[in-house]
């Protein structure tokens, strides 16, 4: 008996798996400051951070843009880092009132580092003594949206995930 398996449909035909190119796109986050937090009341771990991002204009002068970093991934964790081990401060499964209080600590903080790890494409965004870890989903369904989205100063949208895929629109 022979079984035929159809290949999984492409989620986004223009999606890329070029990790160095993604890292270059995310460089705009370095030095960005969190100015606001949005947490929907029906959140299931989803939230958005409004970032003040400094970027270089085509004229060579610096510009300031306010852009949303929206987290839609069902799996993330905010850790408080320090001289010892990291301590979890919040996670995607926490109740909304607790999440609101725990995530509010990011308001006013500056992004000090952004990394995408290999091979799993976990995103690590550091805010001084706090680190936001975003764990990508691996399921590709026709309804799958990106795990997280960043509006770039250029007004393009960068969608990352599911899995090791990203797309700039």
Q: Give the domain ranges of the chain.
A: 34-168
Angle 136-84-82 (CA atoms, 0-180°, nearest 5)? 70
Banded model confidence at residue 142, pLDDT cuts 50, 70, 90: low
| Backbone torsions φ then ψ of 96, nearest 5 degrees | -55, -45
pLDDT at 2: 40
Both structure tokens of 163 = 């899995």
Do residues 14 and 33 touch, judged by C-beta distance below 8 A?
A: no
Both structure tokens of 133 = 């870890």
pLDDT at 4: 40
End-to-end CA gap in the chain: 45
Nearest to 114 by CA among 30, 21, 19: 30
Which one has a higher pLDDT value, 143 or 17? 17
What is the distance between the alpha carbons of residues 20 and 115, in angstroms, rounded to a whole number? 11
Scanning the structure block, which residue is given the tokens 């600590």?
Answer: 105
Banded model confidence at residue 86, pLDDT cuts 50, 70, 90: confident
Nearest to 134 by CA among 109, 117, 158: 117
Mean pLDDT of the chain: 85
pLDDT at 14 over 80: no
Scanning the structure block, which residue is given the tokens 């060579």?
Answer: 60
């Amino acid at each position: 008996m022979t079984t035929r398996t159809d290949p999984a449909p492409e989620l986004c035909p223009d999606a890329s798996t070029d990790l160095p190119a993604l890292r270059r796109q995310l460089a705009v986050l370095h030095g960005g400051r969190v100015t606001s937090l949005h947490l929907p009341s029906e959140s299931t771990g989803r939230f958005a951070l409004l970032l003040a991002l400094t970027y270089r204009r085509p004229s060579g002068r610096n510009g300031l843009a306010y852009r949303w970093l929206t987290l839609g991934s069902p799996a993330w964790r905010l850790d408080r880092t320090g001289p010892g081990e990291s301590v979890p401060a919040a996670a995607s499964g926490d109740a909304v009132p607790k999440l609101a209080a725990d995530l509010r600590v990011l308001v006013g903080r500056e992004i000090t580092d952004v990394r995408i790890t290999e091979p799993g494409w976990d995103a690590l965004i550091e805010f001084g003594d706090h680190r936001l870890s975003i764990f990508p989903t691996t399921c590709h369904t026709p309804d799958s949206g990106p795990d997280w989205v960043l509006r770039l100063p250029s007004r393009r949208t960068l969608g990352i995930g599911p899995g090791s895929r990203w797309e700039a629109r």
